Amino acid sequence: MSTLVLAIFIPFLAAAIIPFLYKYLKNIHVGWFAILVPTGLFIYLASLIPAISNGEVIVQTINWIPSYGINITAYLDGLSLTLALLISGVGALVILYSIYYLSSKEPIGTFYTYLMLFMGAMLGVVMSDNMLVLYVFWELTSISSFLLIAFWYQRKRSREGAKKSLIITVSGGISMLVGFIMVGSMSSTWSIREVIANVGSISDHSLFIPAMLLVLLGAFTKSAQFPFHIWLPDAMEAPTPVSAYLHSATMVKAGIYLVARFTPVFGGEAVWFWAVTGVGIFTLFWGSFNAVRQTDLKALLAYSTISQLGMIMSMFGMGSAALYLGYSTESVVYTGATFAALFHLVNHSTFKGALFMVVGVVDHSVGTRDIRRLGGLITLMPVTFTIATVGSMSMAGLPPFNGFLSKEMFFVSTLEITEAGFFGLGTWGIAIPIIAWVASIFTFVYSTVFVVKTFLGPYKEEKLEHPAHEPNPGMLISPIILGMLVITFFFMPNVVGENLIAPAMNGIFPTFASEGAELGTHIHAWHGFKPELFMTIGVILFGVFLYLTRKYWSGIYNLFPEKWSINTFYGFVLDQIEDKSTVITNKYMTRYLRDYMVYIFAFFILAIGGIFIFTEAYYFTLPENAPISNFEGLVILAMMVAGITILFAKSRLTAIVLNSILGFGISILFVLFRAPDLALTQTIIEAVTTVLFLVAYYFLPELDREDTTKKTKSVNLFISIGVGVVFTTVALGVQGNKAFDTISTFFENSYELAGGKNMVNAILGDFRAFDTMLEVVVLLIAGIGVYTIIRVRAKKESDQIEDK
């Protein structure tokens, strides 16, 4: 197996092994085994940095379904390598943190299994070149994150948060799949690289804009963009290591990655520019504005994450404007926004991961995350305070922290885009830097709240679950490393910029790179007294003022009551769907077999009969049919008499005998038409079912038709006549209507194609293998369900015995 493809599947292999290790490793924490996976992947991927930074692109393919062009192709360039390093690097730190964070009483084997599944799925997303394969991994991230968010499933809020996350992200993923299918239909390929190479041939297609919007819908839902952001705060019910990993460094970046990857395809279009930039810049403001009002530290970080994701998204939108102009000295300037987006993507993973871990440390040490109960922890938890300060000031965009550099580049991009003379930016463009600046003020405010309200002020021991203290030193290693990276990237930003971000830019702007454009930007901490610096000074001054006067203006949040929120609307819609679906289900789930048969046959009549009428496929000529012999006529006549007589049978025994006449009559017809194998099968089945009917009906009361209402009889008459007419019409119509060539000649070569001398067996075992596999999967799922129910019931009975 190719090494890149193997790198994707190693976490899945670890997920299969961890449950057994957890069961048999009694004295060794299974997390020490799990940490080897991301650490090894990070070292391997880091060894590829020199090659990628020199402009190489690594592509490795394993055939999966080659006849449909669906293969597992691992594609590694600067963009995918940057994300893969974050997934593996931050993943290793999160696992190290979780070893000390999670109690030994927790089902930690299950936790690391889910975490490995998620890690493999994320690697598959960022390294897949095939759109359909990418979608498979995309939905795996949603499923594995659902399991991680609901890790404490005994808590109702955890279950609700996981369900909301799954509903929103999977719905977006389905729309993304439809967009992918449209792109594949337009370009006749599933390869993203090939789509980018031939984008000129699809840009004028009628499906181009719909495909773009559907792909964006998938990206926005996954990256918690407004109005789909509501799932992220509820997902904070997950354990803190999950929040630090999924909701700061990895899962929420999947949508960002998708936008970056498809910028060469859809970028340059006004719809793409305003959708990505507009949604991103409003999400930036809305997230920062709502973060200030939160009283739970994780909720505050959740809204801050929404805000920061909006900031990154808007920069990708602004950078896409360069593709509208084509390659020129003027257009290259706009690519700086994309460079800033990639740089902030890395920076955000460092400071936000550290801050989530700090929240976990505080919660673990004092037993609460409620800001109203915290304060004065600086003297008792100095190391934690230091990490919190470093992360918060970077989040606020202050020097000497890496967030300052990318935030300055963000301000520069917002100012430069207002000078563009296209996409209506001459009129509406001025709103972009204004909203960005106002949102940055709120960012400064909630960053200050995070530090001051938690660590400064009076110590409130009486409101805490436990006296404040520093945790086990092992729990601090990971946030310390991330905090050190925050400072290191400020003083040595070009290590990341030149080796990762510049090669990623070549993948986002391939046409510019082919022209020899220098897409990398040398990052400086000092640019002189320029507008972006004055914007930062204004953020600090107004931020301090708003923080000090917060109690005077916080009433503004009353203008946005919870009952009018998107969250409430989501809950209302979900409740209505559940209520209406219950009513509809109760209408047709009557628990009477006769009703179910009526629904099935009525649908059959309407669907098949309707198609025959609208397509005029009911044409047939009886004179061209083969003649019916006297013996065949007698068999058919006997069957008709038996079928009609069943309707008037007074006993179940008579009905069973008449029904068996129908079955054995079909067997005789099979013999007459030279199908002895079918005749034998029909005879055996008919004999067995007749015996079973007799045994079963022996225990039933006498047949009573007097209670049948006229309405029921009328419906039965309509259904029976309708089904008979449709079946007869289909049987006669197919003789004179051959829309396609017969497929029988294909199956005649079964020995050459499948190695089977028996054609029927070859069809069942080889040509229908996929269908058979799905049937087996259904049986497997049903078996797992039965086994689970038995185990749960046995456990409950065992617990009851122990209680007694």
Tell me if 511 sits within 8 A of 327, measured CB to CB: yes
pLDDT at position 798: 64
pLDDT confidence band for 765 (50 / 70 / 90): confident
Of the ranges 418-422, 478-482, 720-724, which one carries the lowest mean pLDDT score? Answer: 418-422
Q: What is the mean pLDDT of the chain?
A: 88
Tell me if 473 sits within 8 A of 383, measured CB to CB: no
Q: Of 695, 716, 739, which residue constitutes the final position of a domain?
A: 739
Q: Of 720, 739, 758, which residue constitutes the final position of a domain?
A: 739
pLDDT at position 561: 80
Asked if 502 and 563 sit in the same domain, the reply is no
Asked if 579 and 626 sit in the same domain, the reply is no
Q: Is the dihedral of CA 330, 332, 335, 339 positive or negative?
A: negative
Q: Would 787 be classed as within a structural domain? A: no
Asked if 563 and 543 sit in the same domain, the reply is no
pLDDT confidence band for 628 (50 / 70 / 90): confident
Q: Would 733 be classed as within a structural domain? A: yes
Percentage of residues in the chain with pLDDT exceeding 90? Answer: 53
Residue 467: asked if its preceding bond is cis (omega within 30°), the reply is no
**Which domain covers residue 584, as residue numbers?**
559-589
pLDDT at position 1: 53
Mean pLDDT of the region 233-260 = 90
pTM: 0.83
Instruction: Indicate whether 732 pLDDT > 80.
Output: no
CATH number, residue 616 = 1.20.120.1200
The helix or strand, by DSSP H or E, that contains position 59, with its residue range, turns out to be strand 58-65
Q: Would 369 be classed as within a structural domain? A: yes
Residue 210: asked if its preceding bond is cis (omega within 30°), the reply is no
CA separation for the pair 325, 320 (Å, rounded): 10
Percentage of residues in the chain with pLDDT exceeding 70? Answer: 96
CA separation for the pair 405, 256 (Å, rounded): 20
Q: Cα(first)–Cα(last) distance of the chain, in Å? A: 56
CA separation for the pair 685, 247 (Å, rounded): 58
Asked if 472 and 618 sit in the same domain, the reply is no
pLDDT confidence band for 481 (50 / 70 / 90): very high
pLDDT at position 717: 86
Q: Would 792 be classed as within a structural domain? A: no
Q: Would 165 be classed as within a structural domain? A: yes
Q: Would 800 be classed as within a structural domain? A: no
Asked if 531 and 629 sit in the same domain, the reply is no
Instruction: Indicate whether 797 pLDDT > 70.
Output: no
How do residues 360-404 score in pLDDT, each as one tens digit? 999 989 989 999 999 999 999 999 999 999 999 999 999 999 999
Asked if 205 and 146 sit in the same domain, the reply is yes
Question: Which residue in this structure is represented by tokens 């099968």?
Answer: 681
Asked if 75 and 138 sit in the same domain, the reply is yes
Secondary structure class of 70 (helix, strand, coil): strand
How do residues 277-334 score in pLDDT, each as one tens digit? 999 999 999 999 999 999 999 999 999 999 999 999 999 999 999 988 888 777 788 8
How do residues 631-646 score in pLDDT, each as one tens digit? 888 888 999 999 888 8
Asked if 527 and 596 sit in the same domain, the reply is no
Instruction: Indicate whether 11 pLDDT > 90.
Output: yes
Instruction: Indicate whether 228 pLDDT > 90.
Output: yes
Mean pLDDT of the region 639-661 = 86
Q: Of 683, 704, 739, which residue constitutes the final position of a domain?
A: 739
Number of residues written out for the chain:
804
Question: Which residue in this structure is represented by tokens 């089904």?
Answer: 723
Asked if 205 and 350 sit in the same domain, the reply is yes
pLDDT at position 758: 78
Tell me if 111 sits within 8 A of 102, measured CB to CB: yes
Of residues 491 and 560, more confidently modeled: 491
How do residues 501-543 score in pLDDT, each as one tens digit? 999 999 899 888 877 777 877 888 887 888 999 999 999 999 9
- Maximum C-alpha span of the chain: 106
Asked if 364 and 416 sit in the same domain, the reply is yes
Mean pLDDT of the region 320-349 = 89
pLDDT confidence band for 795 (50 / 70 / 90): low
Q: Two tokens at 492? A: 């040595």
pLDDT confidence band for 571 (50 / 70 / 90): confident
Mean pLDDT of the region 38-67 = 91
Tell me if 185 sits within 8 A of 179, measured CB to CB: no
Instruction: Say which DSSP state 627 is in.
Output: P
Of the ranges 30-44, 602-616, 735-749, which one carries the lowest mean pLDDT score? Answer: 735-749
CA separation for the pair 647, 721 (Å, rounded): 13
Question: Which residue in this structure is represented by tokens 């040509």?
Answer: 767
CA separation for the pair 151, 108 (Å, rounded): 10
Asked if 570 and 657 sit in the same domain, the reply is no
Tell me if 747 sits within 8 A of 763, measured CB to CB: yes
Secondary structure class of 630 (helix, strand, coil): helix
pLDDT at position 382: 94
Q: Would 734 be classed as within a structural domain? A: yes
Of residues 114 and 796, more confidently modeled: 114
How many structural domains comprise the chain? 3
Of residues 266 and 766, more confidently modeled: 266
pLDDT at position 622: 65
Asked if 107 and 176 sit in the same domain, the reply is yes
From the list 553, 362, 548, 381, the residue with the least C-alpha distance to 465 is: 362
Question: Which residue in this structure is represented by tokens 């739970």?
Answer: 296
Mean pLDDT of the region 592-604 = 89
Q: Would 712 be classed as within a structural domain? A: yes
